[in-house]
Amino acid sequence: LDHTIRIRPDGNKNIEGDILFAHTGDLALCGKGRNKMKELAKTAIGHGVSATPLQMARIAATIATQKIVMPDLLSQYNHGLMASAPKHQSLYLSDLDALQKAMGKVVQHGKVKQVFSGYKGHQRIYGKTGTASMFENEKNNNKDKYNTTWFVGWQAPEHDTNAPLAFACMMTHAIHPNYRKGAEVSAPVIRDILKQIEKHVD
């Protein structure tokens, strides 16, 4: 559960919506100059932008349903009812249909295809991989680059009466030469989780 509680110095508790108090980064959308443009280009592909798995799963759910999704994490806190989440707000963006199709092609034709080839629900999987370099560790004159890997998306329901299942997996400090990208590290984790869910549902 991507939910933590912080105890302030005065003894009161703050509910934090993001694990380990992480928060999204700032996007450099304003300003001129070469440095600003370089920063904008990097953040456009996710570098330097912090996000939690729950936030990325919300993005996937929003793309899947074309509605802004706000999950209910707790029904009550300290025996008091929590405020209900706002009703889902529909999005009317012409690019969402194209984005859905593109995320489907990632699984059907991209690097993730082999990962889900043995999963019977692979045709209902939509996703996007992600790989971001963290830092280089100099040891014995060798530079080892550590990566953070992602696989984010959703599984479409078999029947229209059910809702899509959004997911997000983030693995950090990936260093193995053959397993250091989203398709190699995070996508197999999601596949195995979906297989376990399928067993229990059946």
Q: Is the dihedral of CA 185, 186, 189, 194 positive or negative?
A: negative
pTM for the complete prediction? 0.73
Euclidean distance between CA atoms 89 and 66, whole angstroms: 9
In the structure encoding, which two tokens stand for residue 94, read together?
């012409």
pLDDT tens for each residue of 46-55: 777 788 899 9
Residue 27 has pLDDT above 80, yes or no: no
Residues 6+ apart with CB under 8 A from 18: 2, 4, 52, 54, 55
Q: How confident is the model at residue 19 (pLDDT cuts 50, 70, 90)?
A: very low
Distance CA 108, CA 87 (A): 33
- CB neighbourhood size of 131 (10 A): 17
Min mean pLDDT across 46-50, 138-142, 154-158, 171-175 is at 138-142
CA distance 58 to 69: 6
Q: What is the pLDDT of residue 2?
A: 34
**What are the tokens at 148?**
């953070």
Domain boundaries, the chain: 1-50, 94-201
Give the model's pLDDT for residue 18. Answer: 37
